[in-house]
A and B are shown apart, each in its own frame.
Chain A
């Protein structure tokens, strides 16, 4: 079975500062990895995904994530955040060739002016 751990439930940052949201996964088989974002009172939408190939993945809104197989991590980064990035971010994992995603518990990113 697969599982996802998001180490921080909340991350407060000031606008224009860099941010890293941490995600570690556990699996005995090869996996796909995802980051989703949820803005207040909305459903989730895909930020980025790692399926194979380059371990550095770029997504929407200036976010990127790096797959590190040895550390079983898939941390999300942005070099300079905006107020509009305030949202909840979910890391997710699935076995390869499936769409059955297992989500982490989420990290609430709060950006202050």
Chain B
């Protein structure tokens, strides 16, 4: 049972480089999310999607872009990485049934920007 899979799990970038984090879910979930986790700040929502072809901004969207071309995949892009984007990134998905509240998380992707 794969659930939510994130790749890569670790990445080191230099300032100004670009990269894409891939999230794949095999539960046929409608909703998908990208969060970042920083010490003392909990999880903050970057972007989310309520269905294939849709995306929306969360709490901290600046410096990130996302795409949901296929229902099972949600990509998070950094066009020009900055040290402030050093973080652990979590992808999550949910059924979209109103109020279920259960998000299924991947194991995280640790990004370091030098």
Contact = CB atoms under 8 A, between A and B. Distances in A.
B103 interface: yes
B107 A43 contact: yes
B40 A44 contact: no
Contacts, number: 64
B99 A32 contact: yes
A110 interface: no
A97 B94 CA distance: 13
A61 B47 CA distance: 31
A28 interface: no
The 8 closest A-B pairs by CB, nearest first: A43-B105, A105-B42, A97-B98, A103-B43, A103-B42, A44-B105, A99-B94, A49-B101
Given A6-B42, A99-B98, 8 more contacts: A44-B43, A45-B105, A97-B98, A100-B48, A101-B101, A101-B103, A103-B43, A103-B44
